[in-house]
Structure 1
Amino acid sequence: MRLVFMGNSIEEWGTAIAVAIAAAVLMYVARYLLVHRLSAIAARTETRVDDWFLRLLKSTYTVFILIFALYLGSLMLEFPRKYEIWLWRVAVSAMLIQAAIWADTAVRTWRGRYRQAAMGTESVASAASTAIIDFLLRLVVWVVFLLMVLDNLGFNITTLVASLGIGGIAVALAVQNILGDLLASLSIVLDKPFVVGDFIIVGEFLGTVEYIGLKTTRLRGLGGDQVIFANGDILKARILNQTRMFTRRAAFFLRVHYSTDPAKLEEIPGMVKDIILAHEDTASFERAHLRELGEWSLNYEVIYWIKNPDYFVFMDTQQSILLAVLRGLKERGIEVAFPARMVIRNPFDCQDDSPVLNSPAL
């Protein structure tokens, strides 16, 4: 007597189970060998491709191997059409979920590699900002694969997608400012006009970037106060990033008295040049010229560069140069001019023969 179960004989069921077991063992062993082999290769090389494939293989779950193996075994059997359709849908859904896990693993691997590459560099703080991109990419991955799974299971996702689209437009209009700040945060992360730790000037505000979030960017001001900007607003402003300076330009005017001898006036540019070049480790001379004949002084313009962008080095160097210039002028008997005005008393108001007074300008 031939035993039949669900339209298939015991021998056919035995064949199907044997095929399923063989497929499961074969895929499991193949995964194990590939992981072992790629681990050895990844340990010897510095490329990232083998590391990525290794992470993907490790994220291949045994349960999905079993589901796919059972589907292969079911091909050895004859089932009604509706059962075959559902077996196919379950197998494809399992493969889609596994593919979503692979994509999610790839995104997380990218984020981990980015953080590791940034460690020890000046952009290490910006690695935290990749959490924004990581979150959005993983969200897109799971939403797309979820819709594919629902479509594979026979659900009509056209209406769902249309509803999501209409609802998305309504939500976007309601929270357009928040979405604008969110997109601005992505722009900050991708374009990197500044990163956490940079000292920036935004309009009349200046401070060190302390945090870059989905909606706001926060600075720590010089006075210790925290300045909070919406990401959209900060990108609309002109941003001066002081941290990315390589040199600092310094300039000052030197005003000398009109009574100075022309021969001494010719010595001033050379004197200033020698003083600046004496700081060859921190400063480089550009020019020094008698620029104009002012209303009450002879005006020299001096321009030089500070090689070190550090602000304290800049101030120390500038102070040293200005003091040396004052000493050089004093040694040569050259007077620094200052604005003055003459006040003449009304002779009818004077009760004595007091002289005309000269007083410095206030």
Structure 2
Amino acid sequence: MLLHIRRFLLAVCLVTLAVGPAAAQDAAANSATPTVSADPFGRETPRSTVSGLIDALAQRDYNRAANYFDLPVQSDARVMAGASELAQRLQRLLDSGGTLLPFARLSNEPSGRVDDDLPVDRELAGDLKGNAGEAPILLTHRTVDDRAVWRISHETIRELMATPTPAATASPVSEAVGFSVAGAPVEDWALLIGLAALSFVVLRMLAAAALAVMRRGITDPDSNGAYRFFHAALPPLSLFVSVMIFYAWAERLQVAIVARQTLLRYAGGVAAIALVWFLLRLVDAVADVAIARMHRRSRRQAVSVVTLLRRAAKILLLVFSIVAVLDTFGIDVTTGIAALGIGGIALALGAQKTVENLVGSVTVIADRPVQVGDFCRVGDVIGTVEDVGIRSTRIRTNDRTIVTIPNGDFSSRQIENYAKRDRFLFNPVIGIEYVGPAKLREAVSIIEDVLFSHDQVSNDGPRARFSNFGDSALEIEIFAYITVTDFAESTAIRQELLLTIYERLADVGIGIAFPTRTLFIAPVAQGDDDDNGAAPAVPTQTI
């Protein structure tokens, strides 16, 4: 019976190959302009074709699996019976050492891969292993019912018909004795999962041992850059390398293709997660080392830049991991990413403040009006900058409260940075009592001498000048700079200067004026009444 089926299928293939060139041209045209109508078997791309075939084999639905072979008239009962037998033979050969490309390596484009050495209507999907060696499993691109689909090519069908089924796996999985899960024997699942778990455990133990040896040989491992790097890298790299080992060994095991292909598919997602895990830990390690170095060099603004870059890198890595996991589960993310172009416009319109704050963050970090730790005034807020974040800047006020200012607003305000000044202005106005001109000149000379004699007062033109006849005092204006940058130290020097001036003026009998008022009262003399009966005033003085 099997011999008759093989002869019939061979004849069908020969008839179909007779029109191969014209069909190839049609396939090339169809691959250039793929149709948008949905195929009931999901054969639009090489990836979906292989996934649909594996699903059919897992459910042991060989009639559905027959639709993934490039046969001309699949509505014929004899053709369908022969194609079902081909599907079973394909499964036996794959279970006995044949391979299919992992999910991530299969093209998800309707036109397939165009950068390989195959014709545009052919796609490599795996390899068959028979007595004659390896033979490629090729997919062909043809139009079926006005739909451009990918199916197993005539070349592969001929190899299937010519390759004998190994005796050890002469019966299909559907006839195997024993308990099976998702179309594959339990022992095959256990073998593959055990291989993956064992490789990860062994590599993780080796990584822990290497870290322990390094820790013993380093005096201060927490501040050592090499140790921090390996401490961050080895755990995720253990997972990543174990996935690579699993990829290498899984294809060599003679296990059910359903179990192997399913686990290889999700192993790609695990590898992406391991890579993102490694990069996240690496970003944290590099950022911590950079922040510590910036603190030692007092480059506080650089700390804000490193923090911002760390957060942005983590967000990008998490987005990448989400996309990779969704792609592993077969969710088409390209449509969603394309939709972001349109949705991004709507999002930008609805999140103008958020975008404004992000732009403000870039402006604050690039322009550096303040740094973390600076004492400043922003609008009517006075305090110390504690953090320059992606969205906002936090300032701790003198009342020990935290004021959060969105960076968009922060960058547009007038910012006065007290920490940036190189000296402090000493500009008091000293009022002395009304004295004669000689004493006034002596007072001005004394004040200037105090300024010139102090080593913390700048020699760049300190001066004292008589400036005004005040209501209660003769005003002498002082203009000088105190050459320190610390505010507390400047207040101490200011106090010292004022006390010295006060002492020197007191020594020569010149007092500091205070507000006074003189009133003149004129009593009325008898007999000199005015028109209203009031007497004229006699002047007296009251102070």
**TM-score, scaled relative to structure 1:** 0.66
Task: Say which of 437, 451, 454 aligns to 1:260.
Answer: 437
Are the aligned partners of 1:340 and 1:358 in contact in 2 as well (CA < 8 Å)?
no
Q: Could you tell me whether the CA contact under 8 Å between 2:199 and 2:245 is conserved in 1?
A: yes
Would you say 1:137 and 2:137 are equivalent positions? Answer: no
Task: Report the secondary structure of 1:100's partner residue.
Answer: helix
CA deviation string 1:233-277 (max 9, x = no partner): 12222222334555422123456769412x972x55653344346
Aligned letter for 1:170?
Answer: A
1:170 matched to 2:346 = yes
**Which amino acid in the other structure matches residue 199 of structure 1?**
F
How far residue 200 of structure 1 moved from its aligned partner, in angstroms, is: 1.9
Q: Secondary structure at the match of 1:307?
A: coil
The whole-number CA distance in structure 1 between the counterparts of 2:369 and 2:96 is 69
Residue pairs, 1:282-297, within 5 angstroms: 283-284=457-458, 286-289=460-463, 291=465, 294=468
Residues 178-204 of structure 1 show CA distances to partners (whole Å, capped at 9, x for unaligned) of 332345356556776445654321233
Q: Does 1:200 align with 2:376?
A: yes
Q: Name the residue aligned to 1:6.
A: 95
Aligned residue runs from structure 1 range 339-350, under 5 A:
none
**Superposition deviation, residue 106 in structure 1:** 0.9
Mapping 1:96-135, distance limit 5 Å: 96-114=272-290, 116-117=292-293, 133-135=309-311
The one-letter amino acid paired with 2:481 is Y
Structure 1 letter corresponding to 2:322? L
Q: Give the structure-2-normalised TM-score.
A: 0.48
Residue type at the aligned position of 2:461:
R
The structure 2 residue matched to 1:51, chosen from 228, 236, 239, is 228
Residues 424 and 484 of structure 2 are in contact (CA less than 8 Å); yes or no, is this contact kept in structure 1? yes
TM-superposed CA distance for 1:41, in Å, is 6.8
For the residue of structure 1 that corresponds to 2:437, the secondary structure is coil
Of 477, 481, 484, 1:307 maps to 484
Say whether the 8 Å CA contact 2:360–2:407 is kept in structure 1. yes
Q: Distance in 2 between matches of 1:287 and 1:210?
A: 37
Structure 1 CA distance for aligned equivalents of residues 220 and 518 of structure 2 = 85
**Contact 1:246 / 1:307 at 8 angstroms: preserved in 2?**
yes
Partner of 1:271: 446
Question: Would you say the 8 A contact 2:95–2:257 is kept in 1?
Answer: no
Distance 1:103 1:42 in 2: 24
Partner AA of 1:271 in structure 2: I
The question of whether the paired residues in 2 share the 8 Å contact of 1:41 and 1:50 is answered with no
Percent identity between the aligned chains? 20
CA distance in 1: counterparts of 2:399 and 2:263, whole angstroms = 68
Gaps of 5+ in 1: none
Aligned-partner Cα distance in 2 for 1:4–1:205: 76
Secondary structure at the residue paired with 1:240? strand
Contact 2:348 2:355 in 1 (8 A): yes
- 8 Å contact 1:38–1:54 — kept in the other structure? no
Secondary structure at the residue paired with 2:237? coil
Aligned AA for 1:287? G
Q: Distance in 2 between matches of 1:285 and 1:358?
A: 47
- Which amino acid in 2 is paired with 1:236? S
**Largest Rg, 1 or 2:** 2
- The whole-number CA distance in structure 2 between the counterparts of 1:33 and 1:321 is 66
The answer to whether the Cα contact below 8 Å between 2:233 and 2:281 also exists between their aligned partners in 1 is yes
Amino acid at match of 1:147: V
Cα distance in structure 1, aligned partners of 2:398 and 2:330: 61
Q: Is the 8 A contact 2:371 2:385 kept in 1?
A: yes
* Shift of residue 103, structure 1, vs aligned partner: 0.7
Compute the displacement of 1:143 (Å): 1.0
- SS of the equivalent of 1:60 reads helix
Q: Deviations over 1:91-144 (max 9, x none)?
A: 544432221111111122234435555778978999799666544321211212
Q: Helix, strand or coil: the match of 1:352? A: coil
**Contact preservation (8 Å) 2:426, 2:481:** yes
Q: State yes or no: 1:329 paired with 2:505.
A: yes
For 1:75-98, what per-residue CA distance to the aligned partner results, in whole angstroms no more than 9, with x for missing partners?
Answer: 446999999987765554443222
Higher mean C-alpha displacement, 245-254 vs 138-147: 245-254
Q: 1:171 to 1:221 in 2, by over 3 A?
A: same
Residue identity opposite 2:383 in structure 1: G
Q: Secondary structure at 2:377's aligned position in 1?
A: strand
